[in-house]
Amino acid sequence: MTKQLPNLKINPENLPERVIVCGDPNRAKKIASLLTESSLLAENREYHSYSGKWNGKEVAVVSHGVGAPGAAVCFEELIMGGAKYLIRVGTAGSYQKEITPGSIVISTASVSTDGLTKQIVPPGFPAVSDRYIIEALCHAAEDFGGDIQVKEGITLTLDAFYSGVIDFPHQLYKKAGVLAVEMENAALFVISSLKGVKSGAILAIDGYADAELREEYDPHTELVVKAIEAEAQIALNAIARL
């Protein structure tokens, strides 16, 4: 009998090679509803898992929760279970004025300021998206069309969401040309590199992270909801190409 993955509670025999990952269990459920032959694989803690078909290809959709440590557990176990391609469908805060809420960013690499990756690789180890997945996401975004702005570039992974007495490094990375900040990409990219699988990330911009640009934070506007729906379909189209 095949042993279940300990935290995801998935039987590896039921896990497709292509997996869409996202933070929010409700978003995972919504993405899974787009699939044909959709079914629930497992639910445990923040990890809600589904499988189905998209464009004839078997695809899983799995939520990983908020933050790199918990997400890393998800990524590691998916790879243990046989996943070969992982695309994260997430949200991020923009650093650049022209990347407005409701737009989309395809991450080519992540600046690793999180604590998780510092504990599994030496300083300077790059956190990069797979070039084939970047290409697939870019082509899928072009084919999707519509009026949503899509940008491609470097993002930042940061552990903290709310600030304390230490200032966030937003201005520094804004000046360096980083496009946006989120909380899990570096973990996904580094773990994928270590395990020899392909991963990428597409992000809906839900506000400005930079204080000079920030307005009242509302990640539930119509523009943001539309961008999340678009990125989900772009990611599904991209992963079905692989």
What is the C-alpha to C-alpha distance for residues 110 and 23, in angstroms, rounded to an integer? 17
Greatest alpha-carbon span in the chain? 57
What is the C-alpha to C-alpha distance for residues 72 and 67, in angstroms, rounded to an integer? 9
Q: What are phi and psi of 11, to 5 degrees?
A: -80, 120
**Torsion sign, CA atoms 175, 222, 63, 44:** positive
Pair 18, 62: CB distance under 8 Å: no
* Burial class, 144, CB count within 10 angstroms (exposed 0-12 / middle 13-18 / buried 19+): middle
Reading the block at residue 62, the tokens are: 């799995």
Reading the block at residue 194, the tokens are: 């270590």
CA dist list (Å): 46 to 30, 42, 163, 191, 232? 15, 11, 24, 19, 19
Q: Is 167 a catalytic residue?
A: no
Reading the block at residue 192, the tokens are: 């994928």
Closest CA relative to residue 23, chosen from 86, 58, 70: 70
Pair 140, 241: CB distance under 8 Å: yes
Of the listed 24, 206, 210, 218, which one is catalytic?
Answer: 206
DSSP 46: T
What residues are labeled active site?
Answer: 206
